[in-house]
Structure 1
């Protein structure tokens, strides 16, 4: 009888410890998942190591950008990083017709944008960072050489998923700069975005990281308390 009385509390304690251990493991799993989701924005370097370049001597693009894009997963809040020079341009459009025509001549300033346009110096290194803020089909091309670069492979299409949605820093992007209306009312040129692109350490990633840190600290505190109670 005495042995039975001793075993019963011990058995109850073991069961309690086992239950607490499972709870702690579950919380740790949630902690890891939360940290991953909160910082789940990606910088995609266009073309990988090949970058965004056109070989004028061979009239070919540095790589197959369509194939590169097909192997990526794009979500709202991600960035496209174009490592290039002023010999190429970066055109972003949501208009498939503009994309297929390889020109911005008849493009609307509401759906087509040129990044770092207007630079007249050639062979100047550039890093252009383009945020993905519109879900669905996004098109990119270089219209340099009167569209020849685009026609010879400097073009690709991506499908942007919702993912985690836009981070606060991109949820309400500023309006594009004012562009004076052209003399010909039938044409509306694309907006040219001048100046430096956002930093690679963009606010989207920072905002997501801060949220992840706060959630991690909260879950870590709960886990520590449970471990203290268990021991």
Structure 2
């Protein structure tokens, strides 16, 4: 195998590692396998997650039956005042990016659904690493400045760590190899 073939293989390993890291980015399908539906317990689902800056919320639901509105504040959330919506989506497969730490409030915009419990609030914490589910005993804070995270380690986090180590090692090998020629 010639130097060019070896270098090409190393570059492919590096790209594979980068792709693996991107796949591990925190993407939360709201409500899990049930999705954004009336029967879902959103408080339980959200409390079992850790949302970090850079993550995405994916709302999957029947378009025309439900929608997603982001509410302005906790009072609007408690009162189901969808008239204060900051944003509204209705495609049935909506993505919301979590761009900064703080608490955000979401509800279904269909009349009566919010009052029946189709709403959730999430707290996004600082950090760009992929998210992991929080431990069941952890409590969620409503403070926008909260940066408490779970100390539990999931297999996704372990995989992400291994992918990062792989990328570093592959980069070092590629640098070493290139310096030889």
Q: Which runs of 5+ in 1 are unaligned?
A: 1-30, 54-60, 117-124, 166-211
Q: Does 1:161 align with 2:139?
A: no
Deviation at 1:215, TM superposition (A): 5.6
Following superposition of structure 1 onto structure 2, how do residues 82-97 of structure 1 map, counting pairs within 5 Å?
82-85=59-62, 86-97=64-75
SS at match of 2:82: coil
Q: C-alpha separation between the residues in 1 aligned to 2:19 and 2:172?
A: 14
Structure 1 residue 220: deviation in Å? 3.1
Alpha-carbon contact 1:103-1:143 (below 8 Å) kept: no
- Equivalent residue in structure 1 for 2:44, among 67, 87, 92: 67
> Which one of the candidate residues 34, 38, 49 is aligned to 1:50?
34
Q: Aligned partners of 1:143 and 1:155: how far apart in 2?
A: 10
Matched, 1:113 2:87: yes
- Matched residues in 2 for 1:82 and 1:67: separation? 16
Q: CA deviation at 1:132?
A: 1.0
Q: Distance in 2 between matches of 1:69 and 1:134?
A: 17
TM-score (norm 2): 0.59
Question: In the superposition, relative to structure 1, how do residues 100 and 47 fare at CA in structure 2: closer, same or farther (>3 Å)?
Answer: same
1:25 matched residue in structure 2: none
Q: Alpha carbons of 1:36 and 1:94: their partners in 2 closer, same or farther (altered >3 Å)? A: farther
Q: Structure 2 vs 1, CA of residues 88 and 158 (structure 1 numbering), >3 Å: closer, same or farther?
A: same
TM-score (norm 1): 0.47
Structure 2: stretches of 5+ with no match in the other structure? 1-13, 130-163
* Equivalent in the alignment of 1:9: none
SS at match of 1:41: coil
Q: Report the alpha carbon displacement of residue 218 of structure 1 after superposing the two structures with TM.
A: 2.5
Map 1:6-21 to 2 at 5 A.
Answer: none
| 1:1-231 paired onto structure 2 within 5 Å | 39=22, 41-53=25-37, 61-85=38-62, 86-105=64-83, 107=84, 112-116=86-90, 126-145=92-111, 148-164=112-128, 217-222=170-175
The 2-side partners of 1:149 and 1:216 are apart by 51
Find the aligned partners of 1:161 and 1:104 in 2 and give their Cα distance: 25
How many equivalent residue pairs?
A: 128
2: CA distance, partners of 1:37 / 1:137: 29
Matched residue of 1:69: which SS?
helix
